[in-house]
Structure 1
């Protein structure tokens, strides 16, 4: 996926839409910067279906890896590939924005433990969730971040010119390289952190 379109980038850079002389290079920058940002985020942010397994939390909150949650198709408790219970939609609540499922009773853990421990040290991922999560379109702040980084990489505001740009990215027989010192400001880092994948 790309965070900006060629048309949007041309408008941002004040390049006439009818001028196609730099389209190949601009697309390389679009793809390169988009992949860099998405790599930092660690997940696809656009809406798509997911099938994931989770261990219980022994609390009433279960944080899903992807958000915002658009819909939940099913939640099943599975042991040894056999469904032993499917939750009804009335048994849980969805905090769509943060990607959390709440339940009046706990999302119980099951699994094994060491001989010296009474806790479950080796929980099984017995909760199988099918759901759709992500944004219908690229959020405006991520789009702006991509445009800012592309402009910076092109060196438009620098006397060094476009040669200070990419570090090893190519399409067909055209290859460009990123500059070594790509650094994000605190505000830009905050934007990336806002969309980062949840480590579970």
Structure 2
């Protein structure tokens, strides 16, 4: 445990947390920090339109074939725009400008996953298959490239892994 008065490692810890956060966002296929987005979508004649990032906190506009549309319902937690009359079929014919993400309410499981992953990176434990301290110290690493996150991190972020967006 680092005492609060010791700030000598703050920069390194900040970089580790940022790195862990970026790895988790990449794996989840979405951003978690609140920000503004402009996305183009292809209409499918379906009544649901999925945004890439969520939860949605605000929708500035939705345009379908360059005309503004207002007859939709926002399902903020799911990142869905629902429309009774469906979203007109077309290639990249729908543009959405919206704000999504967590401001001060990032789920605790995501925070815990980030902290755990930062610790694993810091202690250089990522990629170890086994370690023996007995008569002679030895460590075995996973062969080849291991893109998989530690199982506990995968379990914590599982509910937040994004869906594919067209």
TMscore range, shorter length:
0.7 to 0.9
Among 95, 106, 119, the alignment partner of 1:151 is 119
CA deviation after TM superposition for structure 1 residue 20, in Å: 2.4
Q: How much has 1:44 moved relative to structure 2?
A: 1.7
For residues 24 and 106 of structure 1, what CA distance do their matches in structure 2 show?
A: 50
Q: Which residue of 2 aligns with 1:92?
A: 72
Structure 2 unaligned regions, length at least 5:
128-140
Match for residue 193 of structure 1 among 153, 158, 161: 158
Please state how far the C-alpha of 1:31 moved relative to its aligned partner: 2.9
Distance 2:33 2:18 in 1: 16
Q: Which has the higher strand share?
A: 2
Post-superposition offset of 1:141: 1.1
Map residues 68-87 of structure 1 onto 2, 5 A cutoff: 68-78=55-65, 83=66, 85-87=67-69
Equivalent position of 1:102 in the other structure? 82
**How big is the alpha-carbon RMSD for the aligned residues of Structure 1 and Structure 2?**
2.4
Work out whether residues 35 and 101 of structure 2, in 8 Å CA contact, stay in contact via their aligned partners in 1: yes
- Alpha-carbon offset, residue 19 of structure 1: 1.2
Q: Structure 1, unaligned stretches of length 5 or more?
A: 1-13, 111-123, 156-163, 168-178
With structure 1 as the length reference, what TM-score do the two structures score?
0.64
| Separation in 2, partners of 1:128, 1:154 | 41
Deviation at 1:107, TM superposition (A): 0.8
Q: How far apart are the structure 1 equivalents of 2:154 and 2:69?
A: 38
Q: Is the CA contact (8 Å cut-off) linking 1:66 and 1:198 kept in structure 2?
A: no
